[in-house]
Homo-oligomer: A and B are copies of this chain.
């Protein structure tokens, strides 16, 4: 079988490099084209990838991407992705966007959180693999979920779908610093992060809107930066309906993820970030208090793998009809 030619647009960021690292091991694809997020930087190599992928990162070029690739992974600034994505689709390339540009379906919300995104003529599939496999098969433009929404939704969506939850949903999430990207800033300075925990975007983070879209209800979402590099853990607080018990909760998860190789349902053995870093797994566990009907869910993943590059590749696998785990196990 001929290898499918892949492009990475935004190859110098953390998600882009993780994607190249994973793609280098994938049996059915080949990264032919890796580009920076802008058109002016010169070509350069990635020292950490010597011997793994020895190509060069070149300036961003739409024409070259369209000419050389069958599918493109994008991790671009919003306004750039907003242009490049639809243009590539128009030229027959399948696009898997790791950024947020195309995630929100509602026009008003999209204008609020991603003002540069145009109104699209083409359909967008929200790439939470485990819940949109069918839609992915025909997808031309896939909006891969954010890292926080992936962890939160994989834990909460089955409960919402099964109508087990009653009342407020609170999501308290803790993320490693690589989630804030590669650009140096005071926020990501080692001396500011080391020994520190900080909440940010409280009651106003765009991943909140994304989670609400997919849960079809309002949530309170608070992200925190914790002093580690990779990994994200979400603690979700809900109350279940009166007639729900522990068995029903366990059965809901078991059934939701029976055929999902990358979701590990842990029950009351609560997952930890340590178990999932450098893998495409999302682990989900919970504790339930019968008396108060309060349910505390813990879900975690590697923000650069299942929360970004890994899930994008998983989506590619489904979209191209390959084994969902190809290149990821």
Contacts and interface: CB of A to CB of B under 8 A. Distances in A.
A235 B224 contact: yes
Nearest to A237: B170
Contacts of A292: 218, 220
Contact of A182 (B47, B191, B277, B281): B191
Contacts of A279: 52
Contacts of A296: 199, 202-203, 220, 222
A228 B194 contact: yes
Contacts of A191: 14, 176-178, 182, 188, 229
A2 interface: no
A186 interface: yes
Contact of A227 (B202, B227, B281): B227
A275 B48 contact: yes
Interface stretch (A55-63, A156-164, A248-256, A264-272): A264-272
A321 interface: no
Given A172-B172, A189-B184, A190-B190, A195 B226 contact: no
Contact of A273 (B182, B198, B264, B298): B198
Contacts of A194: 177, 190, 227-229
A115 interface: no
A270 B230 CA distance: 24
Q: Which of A47, A239, A269 has the most CB of B within 10 A?
A: A47
A224 to B, nearest CB: 7
A171 to B, nearest CB: 10
Contacts of A266: 47
Contact of A52 (B184, B192, B231, B329): B329
A277 B195 contact: yes
Nearest to A218: B292
Nearest to A266: B47
A192 B183 CA distance: 11
A40 B176 CA distance: 35
Given A188-B189, A222-B237, 11 more contacts: A47-B275, A51-B262, A184-B188, A184-B189, A190-B192, A190-B193, A192-B274, A199-B298, A202-B270, A202-B287, A237-B237
